[in-house]
């Protein structure tokens, strides 16, 4: 069963806030009145029930986390190598939640349009085949674009996206396939980034039009990515946010921090 942390956070914030509010408006007054009658305490020495004490302590913290996580930034961990070399397994990233519109938590209904995805953005989205899963890929095609991929050449609206060879990827150990990989630099929109290719491998090919309200995405590890070439488009309502920075990075054994990656901007 998938644990929905957003729903839990909203529910916990609501319950703790309700308990605290009801106590302030109803029960606290009656407790203070009893204290005056018995000469046992003043308002400053009011003994709250344990449940009220916990609710009063946790509510502000939960509310702050809810606001930050729902409307500003949310942390994610990179679980696979599909976005190598831009993102590695063990990278922890912050995702800008307001880049593609402000949404109500849990219901995910947009209430404020703050921007749209651009070609080349690295975006987190809910996997269309299983909404409980979060995926991260690079946005290649916008609504109305024609995207082609043949013989490892990407074209958008009939124009090939050029790539500059940079040699063999140095970190072979990071490849799940354990075969030589070639590194190329590409420019798409306002973004300059690296991609990986395996010369001997085959990737799905074809030409497709991106429908309205949808996006075409690909992984930077072009021959080792489960993306729009396989399962189709990402609906706009599935977008979670734009990847911003790497805030922590552990090696494959989770024993060493990759300090050189901490703080890197994700392009």
- Active site amino acids: 82, 137
Q: Is residue 193 a contact partner of residue 138, using CB atoms and an 8 Å limit?
A: yes
The answer to whether 206 touches 218, Cβ cutoff 8 Å, is no
In this structure, is the dihedral angle defined by the CA atoms of residues 162, 167, 171 and 175, taken in order, positive or negative? positive
User: In sequence order, what are the residues at sequence separation of 6 or more whose Cβ sits closer than 8 angstroms to the Cβ of residue 246?
Assistant: 87, 91, 92, 93, 261, 262, 263, 264, 266
Q: Decide if 89 contacts 252 (C-beta within 8 A).
A: yes
Which candidate, 185, 184, 222, 5, places its Cα nearest to that of 106?
A: 5
Dihedrals φ, ψ of 134, to 5°?
A: -100, 130
How many Cα atoms occupy the beta-carbon half-sphere of 210 within 13 Å? 24
Which residue, 26, 82, 34, is CA-closest to 52? 26
Helices 5-22 and 50-71 pack at an angle, to 10 degrees, of 140
């Amino acid at each position: 069963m998938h644990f929905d942390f957003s729903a839990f956070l909203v529910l916990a914030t609501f319950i703790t806030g309700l308990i605290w509010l009801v106590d302030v408006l109803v029960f606290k007054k009656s407790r203070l009145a009893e204290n005056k009658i018995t000469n046992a305490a003043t308002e400053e020495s009011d003994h709250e029930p344990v449940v009220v004490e916990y609710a009063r302590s946790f509510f502000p913290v939960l509310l702050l986390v809810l606001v930050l996580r729902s409307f500003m930034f949310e942390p994610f961990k990179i679980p696979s190598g599909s976005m190598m070399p831009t993102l590695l397994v063990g990278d922890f990233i912050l995702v800008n939640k307001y880049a593609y519109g402000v949404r109500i938590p849990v219901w995910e209904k947009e209430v404020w349009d703050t921007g749209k995805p651009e070609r080349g953005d690295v975006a987190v989205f809910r996997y269309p085949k299983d909404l409980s899963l979060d995926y991260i890929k690079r946005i290649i095609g916008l609504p109305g674009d024609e995207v082609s991929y043949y013989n490892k050449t990407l074209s958008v609206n009939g124009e090939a996206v050029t790539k500059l060879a940079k040699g063999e990827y140095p970190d072979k150990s990071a490849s799940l396939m354990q075969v030589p990989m070639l590194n190329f630099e590409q420019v798409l929109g306002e973004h300059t980034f690296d991609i990986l290719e395996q010369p001997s491998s085959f990737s799905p090919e074809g030409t497709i039009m991106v429908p309205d309200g949808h996006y075409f995405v690909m992984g930077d590890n072009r021959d080792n990515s489960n993306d729009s070439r396989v399962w189709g488009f990402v609906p706009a309502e599935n977008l979670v946010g734009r990847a911003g920075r790497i805030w922590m990075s552990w090696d494959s054994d989770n024993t060493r921090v990759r300090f050189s990656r901490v703080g890197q901007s994700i392009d």
